[in-house]
Chains A and B, each alone.
Chain A
Amino acid sequence: MTAAATGYRPGSTLPIWAEVRRQASRRRTQLALGFMALLPVIVLVAFEFGGDGDDDNGGGEFSSLVELATSGGLNFTLFCLFVSASFLLVVVVALFFGDTVASEASWGSLRYLLAVPVPRARLLGVKLVVALGYSLLALLTLAGTAMLLGTLRYGWAPLGSTIAAEIPAGEGTLRLLAILGYLAVVLLAVGGLAFLLSVLTDAALGAVGGAVLLWIVSSILDQITALGVIRDFLPTHFSTAWLGLLSTPPQTDDIVKGAISAIAYATLFWSLAFWRFTRKDVTS
């Protein structure tokens, strides 16, 4: 006599693949991923038709990255990452993490999953893994498309950097992968925040918007240098540290600090999410 119905094992409920399909069929997933592939196209078209604007207003490393963007596939990819890292990727990651539980709650399907029963920790775990997967996929889609388009259009050239010598294409690819990896780690903090909000609220929009909002607030606070050492504790403080990977030799000190910050925040938020979700009354 076993407790469960035949064929039921808690560990095999809500298989990862089932959750992947649940999310894949959603329009917002398709749109988000589609836009990741579309953005490099838009940027490319802009470069092609934009002409030679010489509004060089001395925007520091930004203007230099713009100037270098058309020098080769690697630099084009770098530019696409640079322009999306501060906001677009944040929104996309917040979407994947913030929407996942809250939308099930708003549809009412969450209670049926819990009645299957999918153990609550497993439900969150699977949702988390799949959101991670989709976020990574979005990042890779962006980089992959940009790399492909940029290389086709501008050729396979060394990675130009504004502050150090050009990096040979082979090593440049590795640097780009490292930048992607660091971006992924930094975005974990957004993911953690969005995920926590997703568990706390039934409104998917609230979770996604809330996470993005708090991220922006953190960015604003980070601009206020008078805050001094407090800024080091802002989740966005090290979000641009990946620029250090463009120098020779790569500067990794801030990257390490940024990784510590992001991992700590993500762990904290995710722990809170699990703690809350495994205890709360699901009333939606």
Chain B
Amino acid sequence: MTRRRVIAGAVVVALVAGLVTVAVLPESRPFTATDERLTVASGPSGTEPVELDTRFYLPKERSGKVPAVLLAHGFGGSKESVRTDAEDLAGLGYAVLTWTARGFGRSGGEIHLNSPDYEVRDAQRLLDWLAARPEVRTDAAGDPRVGVVGGSYGGALALLLAGQDQRVDAIVPMITWNDLARSLVPESTGAEPTDGVFKKGWAGVFFGSGTGGRGGLGALAGGQTGGQTGGEDEEGEADGGAGDTTDSLPTGGPPPGVSTGDPSCGRFARDVCAAYLAMATTGRPSAESVALLRRSSPQSVLPRIKAPTLLVQGALDTLFPLAEADANARGIAATGTPVRVAWFTGGHDGGSGPQTDQDRVKFLLAQWLGHHVKGEGEAPAGSFTWSRVAGFNALDRGLVTNAYSVGAYPGMDGSGRTDVTVAGPAQPIANPPAGNPAALSSLPGLGGGLSDLLSGVAGDLAGQHARFVSEPLAEAVEVGGSPTVQIRAASPTGEATLFVKLYDVDTAGGVTLSGGLVAPVRLTGLPADIAQAQPVTVTLPGIVRRIEAGNRLAVVVATSDQGFTTPAEPTVYTVAVGPAGAGPVGAAPVGLPTLTGDPIATPAAIWRYVLIGLIAAILLGLAAVLIVLRVRNRRRVDAVDPATAETPLVVTGLRKAYGDGFVAVERVDFRVERGQVVGLLGPNGAGKTTTLRVLMGLTMPTAGEVRVFGYQLVPGSPVLSRLGALVEGPGFLPHLTGEQNLRAYWAATGRPWADARFDEALEIAGLGDSIHRRTNNYSHGMRQRLAIAQAMLGLPELLVLDEPTDGLDPPQIAEMRRVLKRYATDGRAVLVSSHLLAEVEQTCTHAVVVNKGRIVASGPVDDIVGDSPSVQLDVSDQAVATEVLQRLGVRSVTAEGTGGLVVDMNGTPRTEVVAELVRAGVGVDRVVPRRRLEDAFLALVGDNSRGSGDR
């Protein structure tokens, strides 16, 4: 016991120690990180110094020079917000340089929005710095082997840098823009940004994070890690993370070394700030503003990009929708530069997306850089991969997406097209004054993701939208790309600002605006009468969605949206779909680009094989165990000892020590022959019950063996079936009647019912009608009799009864004696244990006396019991009687209590003794013959009234 406790304790201690060690030990990092403040010469002249806050990661294990990665962060972020990605890349064996872009964090300078003269030139100086590092591999003097990776603001920088500096070997721009003007002032019928609709929600978030100083920066950068999944796969996700915008109010002091300057512009450069302020005030950008934004757009430099480009764009992105990456891809591929495109379920609204998407993007990134920068691995395939929402994750409530792959990038028109006709009458809709109240479609900067995607943040407002619904779809459509639809509008002012949305309406009527994406349109030159209005084609933002069969499509044309600036004047427009002059109910096809591909097996598929393997291993293991057991059983059954084959029971050298060191049985040897009723006699605790437990196969002996009819008895030995037993009291199912219990017991033997000799057993039980009562209502004696009857079921050749008369009344005891004596005829044998001397004397033919775990006497009862030479007398006068007896020539006389005498008769007949005593005038009250067994028993235990067998 003690040893076991020690072992258990040691295991627990070891486990705890292990956990603590794992928790406490610092992670071993396979790289070094060095912070350095670099001052680079930049600006239009190339001589304006600016201090950049940089961190350089270098793999520890490197053979020779390593390729480098320039890792740029997102708007409002810093080098800290790309730390995880930098560490991942360093782990892959790249020297990684991260820096905080000018105008952010601890870097100096002002924000010029990725201006070629400022931010891009800064990055060129960083390339120079990399080329000068002795650890970094170079292609030529001053030309480092380098890839540029970044998300959003950083992604645009990667594109612009690759267009401006041919030393870049590969780029991976993610969730970024092609034309910043079009992104901030979009127009979905193809008009220029000067005629677009200002995306005030997102623009405000951007401007706020640029003017907010460190408070805003901290909050938004924190929003990245506190976002949906905490993943940081999309570098610079800070501007799209789930930050709390209220925290982005300026709370901290200005960054060191930066003057606070104009409070309305913060750290923005004056020209950028002025452009924003003008644009936000009027809602219409001037041509100069558009030019400024386009200076910051990769659009113009695409033909000059020679670095292989991996474009990753998110489908949950109302800031830079899929079409931006599409424009970049087409522009770069036009000159023959290798381009690969991937979409994932995330973006400025959706965050990093589900784990499967993060893993896929990481893999694509590593593969792209591996081949094009490090020069390892095969050329990545040109295949296009994307993912589609499949539902909730049941465990973490996140999104679950399925990924697909197709050979080539199909663009925003998809690989096929399905037209679904929506119809409805022309409807008048009101433009709310000053754009309030306005419909809500997305929550810029909050990274709503889930709710946006699944059911839309809010609905449209009554009176402010027109709705055109299709019939239920006959079959599911896998939409992937930009849907198109033709609408018409009439306006008394000749102008209208409208928002076109495509809803998926399920059979229960629930509507979903995929990704929260809306298409803003600004129409001019409109007639006042809808009948004269000409149709315009609206290209909706690209979506990835499966529209189930039975669902409907609804095209909604609304007058307001909280994310956009709308005309302040209240107006009532009339909108319709389809060509003019088609009657009161118009109908127009919605062109749905479709996208089908091969599902990409998730890495989780391997678990299926693990499951199959596990089940197979279990089955094999089970089969092996069964075979081993069968072989072993057969060997054991066959071992019969011919010498004792006819002897019901031979116990040899039995010893049983329990786990706690208590030795219940020291050494017990005895035999039970056919026809015998053997009494196992001993005081309580002598080891009788332990011996019987071994006989029943309940406990394993520590030493010695038990043979029943020559077969060694171990737990479960088949020979136990020839043995009936009652040990340690009855054991019945309390909810069954006596009869049901006996039947249930016999059913458990699996033997034929006829062999049970049920009626004989019932007769022995003698319970009468009580046999039909539940055993939990039985008295002790009734249970005892039922248990004896159960032991006798099937008339076993050896009957083992432990204290059988316990709880029986005298007539029943007498009856039981007769039953047992009769039972032992016909070659059967009975072993009865008892602590009652009289019972053994009267019932048994043979007796075995045990005490303290050892045999003290054994043999036929007649031999042991016989008449002993002594007699116990109760006399009226002890002194006289003693004198008389001594005269008779007895061997000894011992006084016992008052009036009691124990006399060793030495052959003198008892009749003579009594006659002599009476003659001498001594009154004889009682004459009890003493027996040898009693003498032996009392000699052992009689003097000790304390629990006689206790040791």
Contacts and interface: CB of A to CB of B under 8 A. Distances in A.
A and B interact physically: yes
Interface of A: 1-10, 12-15, 18, 21-22, 25-27, 60-61, 107-121, 160-166, 237-238, 240-244, 246-249, 251, 253-254, 256-257, 259-260, 263-264, 267, 278-279, 281-283
B704 interface: no
A243 B394 contact: yes
B287 interface: no
A8 B797 CA distance: 14
Secondary structure of the A side of the interface? loop
Given A119-B716, A120-B716, A165-B507, A283 B698 contact: yes
Interface stretch (B214-222, B436-444, B743-751): B743-751
B604 interface: yes
A247 B391 contact: yes
Given A116-B720, A161-B391, 11 more contacts: A4-B719, A4-B722, A6-B755, A21-B747, A25-B736, A112-B731, A114-B696, A116-B745, A166-B550, A244-B394, A247-B391
A240 B397 CA distance: 11
B589 to A, nearest CB: 23
A118 B699 CA distance: 15
A267 to B, nearest CB: 5
Contacts of A163: 391-392, 454
A247 B718 contact: no
22 contacts: A2-B718, A3-B719, A5-B751, A5-B796, A10-B633, A21-B744, A22-B744, A112-B745, A115-B697, A121-B629, A163-B391, A166-B507, A166-B508, A237-B395, A241-B395, A243-B392, A244-B393, A254-B395, A256-B610, A279-B700, A282-B698, A283-B699
A226 B852 CA distance: 59
B92 to A, nearest CB: 22
A5 B721 contact: yes
Interface in B603-627: 604-605, 607-608, 610-611, 614-615, 618
B270 to A, nearest CB: 46
Most buried by B among A116, A251, A282: A116
Contacts of B696: 111, 114-115
A25 B557 CA distance: 69
Interface in B715-765: 715-723, 725, 727-736, 740, 744-745, 747-752, 755
Closest 3 CB pairs of A and B: A247-B391, A108-B731, A243-B394
Nearest to B696: A115
Interface residues of B, number: 74
Interface of B: 390-395, 397, 400, 402, 454, 506-508, 548, 550-551, 602, 604-605, 607-608, 610-611, 614-615, 618, 629, 633, 637, 640, 645, 658, 693, 696-700, 709, 711, 715-723, 725, 727-736, 740, 744-745, 747-752, 755, 790, 794, 796-797
Given A3-B719, A114-B696, A109 B551 contact: no
Nearest to B749: A116
A201 B695 CA distance: 23
B748 A18 contact: yes
Q: Determine which residue in B395, B400, B550, B605 has the highest number of CB atoms from chain A within 10 A of its CB, and name it.
A: B395
A267 B619 CA distance: 10
A238 B397 CA distance: 13
Contacts of B392: 61, 162-163, 243, 247
Contacts of B402: 249
Task: Give the residue among B610, B728, B750 with the most A Cβ atoms within 10 A.
Answer: B750
A14 B748 contact: yes
B397 to A, nearest CB: 6
Given A160-B508, A248-B391, A7 B751 contact: yes
Given A117-B717, A120-B716, A251-B394, A260 B607 contact: yes
Given A118-B748, A281-B700, A251 B390 contact: yes
B67 to A, nearest CB: 32
A5 B796 CA distance: 8
A256 B711 contact: no
Nearest to A29: B735
Contacts of A109: 731-733
Contacts of B640: 1, 3
Contacts of B454: 163
Nearest to B797: A5
Given A3-B717, A15-B750, A253 B604 contact: yes
A1 B629 CA distance: 23
Contacts of A118: 716, 748
A45 to B, nearest CB: 26
A15 B551 contact: no
Contacts of A162: 392
A165 B731 CA distance: 58
- Which residue of B700, B731, B740 has the most chain A CB atoms within 10 A of its CB atom? B731
B610 A260 contact: yes
B548 A248 contact: yes
